[in-house]
Amino acid sequence: MSFDLSVNIGKLHLNNPVMLASGTVGYGNEISEFTDLKKIGGIVTKSISLKPRKGNPPQRIVETSAGMLNAIGLANVGVEEFLTSKVQFLKKIGVTLICNIAASSVEEYVECINYLDNEDFIKAYEINISCPNVKEGGLIFGNDLKSVGNITQKVRAATPKTIIMKLSPNTSDIKNFAKIAKEEGADAVSAINTLVGTSFDIWTRKPKIKNITGGLSGPAIKPVALAKVLEISRNVDIPIIGIGGISTWQDAIEFIICGASAIQIGTINFINPNAGVEILGGINKYCEQMNIQSISELTASYQI
Ligand SMILES: Cc1cc2nc3c(=O)[nH]c(=O)nc-3n(C[C@H](O)[C@H](O)[C@H](O)COP(=O)(O)O)c2cc1C
C-alpha cells in the first residue's frame, strides 16, 4: 500500500515530517557520517546570527535526569561563512534546508534574511525568539507579545519564503504567542524551545553550568511540549512543528496526534545520530498498520 508522508507548510515542502532540530546537528556535516540525511524531511541549522558568535564560556552542557541542560549561548559561524562554506556541503547532500535565525534586534533578524534570501537552497526560516541562554534577544523577545508580533511582521515582509516562529515554553499562555504569529503572517510555529533549568554541585555549592541557568531538553520535557502543542492546536489555526523530548517513533506519532504537522528531534541526536531515520521507519510502519493514506490525516486527530 502506498501512503503520503509529505508535509507542506506554506511554500515549504517536506518529503516526510521528521526534521532535525536546531543546535543539535550543527550544519549537518558531522551527523552526515552516521545517518543518511537525504532520508530526513528537513534539517534546521544551528541558530545563525549576522556576525559570528563565540557563545558562553564552558561548562556549557550538563546531563540531568532524563535530559540535558545547555547554555551554549548561540555560538555560530555567522551568515557570511554559513553561506560561503556550510550551505555548499548541504547542497551536495541534497537535504531540505531550513535556516534558524537568532538576533538581538528586530533589524538584525531582517538583515540576516536579506543576506540569506537569494540562496534558493534555503527553503524556510525558523525564527528563534526563545533562546533562554543569551542576555540580548532570546527570551526578552519570546516572552513579550508585542515583540513577537513586531518581529513576525518584519520578517514576513522581508521574504516570500516560509516563516516559522519558534516559540518558548517559558510563558503561561503559549496560545497567545501562536495567535499573534499567525495574525502577523507566519506560516507556522514550532514548539517548543528549551525550558529554563539549573543544576548545582552539592559539594562545591556551585552551579554546574557557568551561565548558572541553561535550557532543559530531552525526554524530561516531552509531556510539557506535548501540552503546549495541544494548547496551540486547540486554540489557533496554524501549522505546528512539534519539538521536545522526541526519542521514538511512538513519541513522534503522539505529537502528530496532539496537533503537530511535522516534528523535530533534538537531544536524541546526541545519543543516536540515526534516530531520525529510525523514527521515520516507525512512522511508516504505523501508517501502514493503521491504514493511514496521508500523514496529514493524523494531525490533530485527538479524541478529547
Ligand atoms: C545543545 C543544544 C543546542 C541548541 N541550540 C539551539 C539553537 O541554536 N537554536 C534554537 O532555536 N534551538 C536550539 N536548541 C533547542 C532545540 O532545537 C529544541 O528546541 C530543544 O532541544 C527541545 O527538543 P529536544 O528535547 O528534542 O532536544 C538547542 C538544544 C540543544 C540541546
* CB of 245 sitting under 6 A from ligand 1: yes
Asked if 70 and 218 count as a contact pair (C-beta separation under 8 A), the reply is no
Mean pLDDT computed over every residue of the chain: 96
Instruction: State pLDDT tens for residues 102-122.
Output: 999 999 999 999 999 999 999
Q: What residues have CB less than 8 Å from 139, skipping those under 6 apart?
A: 130, 131, 132, 168, 170, 196
- DSSP letter for 93, please: H
More confidently predicted of 141 and 223 = 223
> What's residue 2's pLDDT?
72
Question: Domains in the chain and their CATH numbers?
Answer: 7-55+74-195+217-297 (3.20.20.70)
Residue 228's pLDDT is what?
98
Q: pLDDT digit string (tens) for 46-96?
A: 999 999 999 999 999 999 999 999 999 999 999 999 999 999 999 999 999
Cell 550544519 sits on residue:
27
Q: Are 217 and 245 in contact (CB under 8 A)?
A: yes
By annotation, the residues acting in catalysis are: 131
Residue 1 has pLDDT above 60, yes or no: no
* Distance (Å) from CA 217 to ligand 1 centroid: 7
Given a cut of 90, whether residue 134 has pLDDT beyond it is: no
* Residue 219 predicted with pLDDT over 90: yes
Q: How far is the CA of 276 from the centre of ligand 1 (A)?
A: 15
Mean pLDDT for the stretch of residues 27-34? 94
Q: What is the pLDDT at residue 137?
A: 67
Higher pLDDT, 137 or 140: 140
CA distance 31 to 189: 25
The reported pLDDT for the residue numbered 130 is 84
Ligand 1 centroid distance, CA of 235 (Å): 25
DSSP string, 161-203: SEEEEE--SSSS-HHHHHHHHHHTT-SEEEE--PEEEE-B-TT
Q: Is the model's pLDDT at 249 over the cut of 80?
A: yes
Please report the pLDDT score of residue 157 as a whole number. Answer: 98
Establish whether residue 179 lines the binding site of ligand 1, counting it when its CB lies within 6 angstroms of any ligand atom: no
What pLDDT, in 10s, does the model give residues 174-209? 999 999 999 999 999 999 999 999 999 999 999 999
pTM over 0.95: yes
Q: Is the CB of 194 under 6 A from ligand 1?
A: yes
Res 269: pLDDT: 98
